[in-house]
Amino acid sequence: MTVELMSDQKINIQSTARIVFEGKLRV
């Protein structure tokens, strides 16, 4: 596992959490 892969996963998790958080605020 490379560092780039880990950083990409971290970014994906952050973006997904942000979308879910915004979705909860809208509801």
Cα–Cα distance list, 26 to 3, 7, 15, 18, 23 (Å): 35, 29, 17, 12, 5
> What pLDDT is stored for residue 1 in this prediction?
53
Q: What is the 3-state secondary structure (H, E, C) of 5-20?
A: HHHHHHHHHHHHHHHH
Residue-wise pLDDT for 1-27, tens only, equals 577 877 888 889 999 999 999 998 876
Burial of 15 (0-12, 13-18, 19+ CB in 10 A): exposed
Instruction: Sketch the domain layout of the chain as residue ranges.
Output: 1-27
The pTM of the full predicted model, rounded to 2 decimals, is 0.52
